[in-house]
Amino acid sequence: NTIMYLLESPHEKGVLWAGTDDGLVHLTKDGGANWSNVTPAGLAEGIINSIEISPHDPATAYIAVMRYKFLDLSPYIYKTTNYGASWTKITNGITDPHTFVRVVREDHKRKGLLYAGTETGLYISFDDGQNWQSFQLNLPVVAINDLTIQDNDLVVATAGRSFWILDDVSSLQSVPQGTIPFTLVKPKDSYLLFGGSASKPVPGLGQNPKQGVTLDYYIDKEADSLDLTLDILSEGQVIRTYTNKASKDFKSWPGGPSKPAVLPAKKGFNRFTWNFRRNALPAVDKVFVYGSYAGSRVGPGTYQIRLTFDGAVAETDVTVLPNPKIMSSEGEYDHQQETLARIESTIKSIHESVNQMRSAKTQLKTYAKLLKGQENAKDLLDKGKELTKRIDTWEENLIQPKQKTFQDVINYHNQLNAELMNLKNYVDAPEPKVTQGAEDRLKDLLSQWNTFDQERKSIVETEMQEYNALFKSLDIPAIVLPEKN
């Protein structure tokens, strides 16, 4: 005679459903002035533990009934589509022993997508309860007391094993009936929040969602040697690329770039998080920088997502929303992005220029070794030494190769590239407003780079041309055999 569950319809004012601990279901359509007994015919005494009114149809409801007090551990889920005038039992597929049902919920976006919390775990149905299947994933074997969907995440309340959250059920909401093709699921809108959980879970601690946009995709065959590529685009331009293959050319060192993330590519559903960042910056081999080579974070806006696999292309988009805790204008975000673009473009130019010059030095040293001792090449060798020294002096203004750890900055001060990378990290902050100090510092650093870039052009267009002209005048063969010892 105790009311265990009382629920007001989200569709109609004055419509309430009530379930009691003796197995009765009652309905009122006039705010409680009059009640009707709408208990399923033949339902044995038990606890009406939950009532779910369909978010898609005011006449449809689901109830979960428990009879464990009568030593009956069977599942009982009933559905009505006519305000309780008739009911259908829907438990096909819930066959594990001791799996009585505590709660059932319908997805708020996809009609007929049901979630059931039982004494031993979670079940799911894609066909309005006609067929159920276990949906345990990494949940412990535990009683589920309640279920809800919040911000398109499925939240599970357990009996003694804490709360569990399945982030973004968009993939479940979009699963077609029958064979699933190669599919990229449209992700939910994502807030520009920084932080999130660490990459390695800490035992005993809950995990926040990862920072970024969570992407779900379905691959209909084993990837094996096939390439899977994910591109993030802004206004038609690719700003981030991931693949399922680890780069064979990737190298790192203390103070160097981090290993690129690799796309999961198993047959079936896969999940990956884009961390809001653009492509990583190019590095200079073995140069320590106390900073991050990671690309800057994007600002609020709409971004295109393109997934390519075995000749097939799947596309969608995602909206990145501003952090609701930060009161900033669209103009401030735009200016932050423009500033970051200028900084990153300059760092990229510096590192690519240094790498080009290092390639030139390598060639100069190679010819110096091959032509050593040849009298007709003396002027060329002297010119090569002079040019190498000139490049070294230029390079020392841009990078600091003597730094090997973060403490070395005490003895060997940062050069232009590190100053720009530190400024990038400062500007790439949750608060988008670019300070006047950052503006002034960037102006100063860009002026320095302009001077050194002009010097680079002079080396390339004048001194290297002089070396090349002298080399050509000597008519040195393309293949030079070194002298025997």
Fold that domain 175-325 belongs to in CATH:
Immunoglobulin-like (2.60.40)
Lookup: tokens for 425: 């990290």
DSSP 459: I
**Partners of 305 in the β-ladder:** 232, 316
Output the pLDDT for position 485: 60
Q: How far is CA 293 from the centre of its chain?
A: 18
Output the pLDDT for position 197: 64
What is d(CA 43, CA 66) in angstroms, rounded to the nearest whole number? 11
User: pTM of the predicted model, to two decimals?
Assistant: 0.86
Output the pLDDT for position 169: 95
Residue whose token pair is 């999940």: 271
Class at the top of the CATH hierarchy for domain 1-166: mainly beta
Output the pLDDT for position 199: 64
Residue 360 burial (10 A CB sphere; 0-12, 13-18, 19+): middle
Output the pLDDT for position 390: 96
State which residues of the chain have pLDDT below 70.
196-199, 483-485
**Partners of 315 in the β-ladder:** 306
The DSSP-derived string for 318-348 is EEEEPPTTS---HHHHHHHHHHHHHHHHHHH
Output the pLDDT for position 410: 84
SS3 call for 88: strand
What is d(CA 302, CA 321) in angstroms, rounded to the nearest whole number? 9
Output the pLDDT for position 322: 96
- Give all strands (DSSP E) within 119-174, no chain letters: 122-125, 133-134, 144-150, 153-158, 163-166
Output the pLDDT for position 407: 84
